[in-house]
Amino acid sequence: MGLPTITFSLALGTVIMETVDDFDTIDVELDEFFKHKQRSRCKDEFLNTLTDEALDECTVPEINLNDFEGMSEDEAPQEKQSDSEGEDEDKLQFQYSTHDLKVKWNNMKPVLGERYESPHQLKLCFTNYSLSRGYPIRFKKCDSVRLLAVCASDPEKFQCPFVVRASWMSTERSFQIKKMVEQHTCVRNFRSANLMDATWIARQFLKEMIRKPNVKCKEMQAIIQRRFHCKVSWSKFYRAKCRAISLIDGKLSDHYANAIKEGWKVGCQRVIGLDGSELLTAIGRDANDHVYPIAWVVVEIDNKPNWQWFLELLHDDLELQGGLNLCVISDQHKGLLEDVKVVLPHVEHRQCARHVYANFRKVFSGIEFKNMFWTVAKSTVEGDFELNMEKIREVNPAAYDHLMAREPKSWCMTFFKSGMACEAVENRMAECFNAIILDARKKPLLAMLEEIRLYMMEMLFNLKKEACKWVNNVCPGPIKKMDEFAFDIN
């Protein structure tokens, strides 16, 4: 049988009984809230009498839990249950308030039992509360597990009882105020400049920085002095100004190579060609079937760890989501094949048919085998694939076994997924990029990278200039293909 839980209502002077299985699940500690009422005293006895009478009217009668021992759940007083659907009458649900971020900073006030997203959010609320009220607050403990805030006034002059304890809730992932003595017996000194960090000042001056980007730090100091009655150092204002500019315009890391990343996400096909050696490259294909270089890096050796590192960076920068609705084309590098399965488990990994044929030609050479291989690679239905493979078996059974051992599903068009808008069976994108930078690869490292950068800058500019001349929303390349298909059908 569950134990009765007491809910106090100071406004109505009532006591409501509900059942709960274990008192340890209650996170908020009242800590003798009603045993020791702290009443502020003044010299005027008449005001003291009025205050005592007002508090006595709100006094809650004492409740002895022993009186409810042996009482069944039906006999215990219960709160009136609502008739809403889905309500579980056997479970007690505590409705704690949630911190509202839309409240203006000078109206924020921490409340006992209030829930927060993280300790940092609660610390920000206390910072706003201290600066708006003028009472100094010091964070005695503040880490990822708990928060302890006390009054920062001189303990020899003022024995201020203000204290707040907060930690994570046991029933949900919320950071909650468990104990709070809100009363301050110290004086307001408005000396909380140490709580004003650069990030807080930057957010306060964000709108002013947008209206007046060239505002000086001295002007910001004067505004802080007039608005918050606090003095802040010039160096802190300088850091705050830099952070405000970064919030408005973004950081350098956000702008670096942002055009290439956004261009691939918005205007390119979901296909990436990978090529190795000492210069690892990831090449895309735009909507007009042109080469679109995405990323390149110089490594000491073309091995499995370097490919995994490169693919992880590519996955995070382009937000590939494990390779969903993505096609990757590469050679038969063993380490690369394994890394793609680990980093991009949902990707459609195609092997370049040109590399497959290069290995096939070493054993089975000749024009007849060449034509038969490319006929198999470009078969569009499974029936044609089986028929063409049977022709190879009739000529040479060993050639048939060789191709079947090379996983035809990864280089034959028959088994490609529909919806990728890419019928390529070879990695021409990466090979084309290697041919473009062939002269640059003969130069020293820094000169090579600088020449690649200049080529990319000119290429993106020329592509944009050419695209501005297009009349239709469809690129000329796909239009030309559709015209060819229409001509073949006729």
Q: What is the pLDDT of residues 287-341, one digit of tens each?
A: 888 899 999 999 988 888 999 999 999 999 898 988 888 999 998 777 888 889 9
Tokens 């809910």 belong to residue: 7
Residues 6+ apart with CB under 8 A from 238: 217
What is the percent of the chain with per-residue pLDDT over 70, rounded to a whole number?
A: 79
Residue 471 lies in a domain: no
> What one-character DSSP code corresponds to residue 366?
S
- Mean pLDDT for 111-122 is 90
Could you give the number of structural domains in the chain? 4
Residues 311 and 415 in one domain: yes
In 3D space, the residue among 318, 307, 327 whose CA is nearest the CA of residue 429 turns out to be 327
Higher per-residue confidence, 393 vs 55: 393
Residues 409 and 296 in one domain: yes
Structure-token pair, residue 36: 């020791």
The reported pLDDT for the residue numbered 50 is: 44
Q: Of 216, 237, 256, which residue is a domain's last?
A: 256
- Mean pLDDT for 102-130 is 87
Residues 314 and 219 in one domain: no
In 3-state terms the chain splits into helix, strand, coil percentages (rounded to 5) of: 45, 15, 40
Residue 208 lies in a domain: yes
> Which of 226-240, 341-355, 412-426 shows the highest mean pLDDT?
341-355
pLDDT reading at 470 higher than 70: yes
Contact yes or no for 369/336 (Cβ under 8 A)? no
Maximum CA extent, the chain: 116
Residue 420 lies in a domain: yes
Structure-token pair, residue 388: 């063409």
Q: What is the pTM of this model?
A: 0.56
Residue 106 lies in a domain: yes
Residue 317 lies in a domain: yes
Q: What are the backbone dihedrals phi and psi of residue 101, each rounded to the nearest 5 degrees, phi first?
A: -75, -15
The string of pLDDT tens digits covering residues 367-381 is 999 999 999 999 989
pLDDT reading at 449 higher than 70: yes
Residues 190 and 121 in one domain: yes
Query: How far apart, in whole angstroms, are the C-alpha atoms of residue 348 and residue 366?
Result: 31
pLDDT band at 452 (very low <50, low <70, confident <90, very high): very high
Residue 137, strand partner residues: 151
Least confident span in 91-105, 405-419, 423-437? 91-105
- Mean pLDDT for 234-241 is 83
Q: Of 239, 256, 273, which residue is a domain's last?
A: 256
pLDDT reading at 286 higher than 50: yes
The reported pLDDT for the residue numbered 397 is: 92
DSSP reduced 3-state for 356: helix
pLDDT reading at 282 higher than 90: yes
Q: Of 209, 236, 256, which residue is a domain's last?
A: 256
Residues 424 and 309 in one domain: yes
Residue 79 lies in a domain: no
Residues 274 and 396 in one domain: yes
Range of the domain at 161: 96-195
Residues 278 and 415 in one domain: yes
The mean pLDDT of the chain is 78
pLDDT reading at 9 higher than 60: no
Residues 46 and 141 in one domain: no
Residues 309 and 410 in one domain: yes
Residues 183 and 214 in one domain: no
Residue 480 lies in a domain: no
Residues 246 and 290 in one domain: no
In 3D space, the residue among 179, 197, 186, 217 whose CA is nearest the CA of residue 28 turns out to be 179
Contact yes or no for 165/139 (Cβ under 8 A)? no
Residues 267 and 248 in one domain: no
Residue 80 lies in a domain: no
